[in-house]
Amino acid sequence: MTATTSCTFMTRLVGLCFSLFLSCTAALAQVTVTDPWVRATVAQQKATGAFMKLQAVQDVKLIEAKSPVAGVVEVHEMAMEAGVMKMRAVPGLALPAGQSVELKPGGYHVMLMDLKGQVKEGDVVPLTLVVEGKDGKRQTLEVKATARAMTPGAAPGKAAAHSGMKH
């Protein structure tokens, strides 16, 4: 092998490796999280919700959430059924490619239960979200959500309904 042939071979090999790296990286879910926040609690309150906007490059599903501030963390849905607002855990939440999915009070949200302490306004709550692609591959997202107090004009009925629900 001549030096020129060896150099050409190495250039092609490096290019091939780089292309494979990019294609593997592109296969990841690539989920963007914006405006994450957690509702601040009062002393002795044992549950609260986390809210945010999620957008994925490819179709994925939010399948799990965790946080060190809570003993139990679940993805929940609130929906009207026969005129009654009901909340329940869901096994997964679809994140369609290119569409923003909002987790918000009164809709889908991350429920933090069995809180280990009060979540005060301004606290930063770490969350771990797990998404799964159609191929079964999982991606973990580390999120820092700031605790916000419920403001007087921000849907107090939803907050009251949410805090009194049994899980």
**Cα separations (Å) of 155 from 4, 92, 160?**
71, 26, 9
* Domain CATH number, residue 37: 2.60.40.1890
d(CA 124, CA 105): 19
Does residue 55 have a pLDDT over 60?
A: yes
Q: Containing domain of residue 45, as a range? A: 30-163
Name residues whose C-beta falls within 8 Å of residue 66's C-beta, 6 or more positions apart in sequence.
73, 127, 128, 130
d(CA 54, CA 132): 14
* Structure confidence at residue 27 as a pLDDT band (50, 70, 90): very low
Q: Which residue has the tokens 């959500």?
A: 145
Position 3 in a domain: no
Position 2 in a domain: no
**Tokens matching residue 141:** 């997202």
What is the pLDDT averaged over residues 12-26? 44
**Tokens matching residue 122:** 């301004």
Position 20 in a domain: no
Judging by DSSP bridges, how do beta strands 31-39 and 138-148 pair with one another? parallel
**With helix as H, strand as E and coil as C, how does 25-60 read?**
HHCCCCEEEEEEEEECCCCCCCEEEEEEEEEECCCE
Which pLDDT score, from 0 to 100, does residue 22 have?
A: 39
Consecutive H or E run containing 12: helix 3-26
Q: What is the pLDDT of residues 98-140, one digit of tens each?
A: 999 999 999 999 999 999 999 999 999 999 999 999 999 999 9
Position 13 in a domain: no
What is the pLDDT averaged over residues 36-64? 97
Longest dimension (CA), the chain: 80
Q: How far is C-alpha 159 from the chain's CA centre?
A: 21
Split into its structural domains, the chain has a count of 1
Q: Closest by alpha carbon to 93, among 83, 80, 107?
A: 107
What is the pLDDT averaged over residues 38-55? 97
* Mean pLDDT of the chain, nearest integer: 82
Question: Model's pTM, two decimal places?
Answer: 0.74
Position 25 in a domain: no
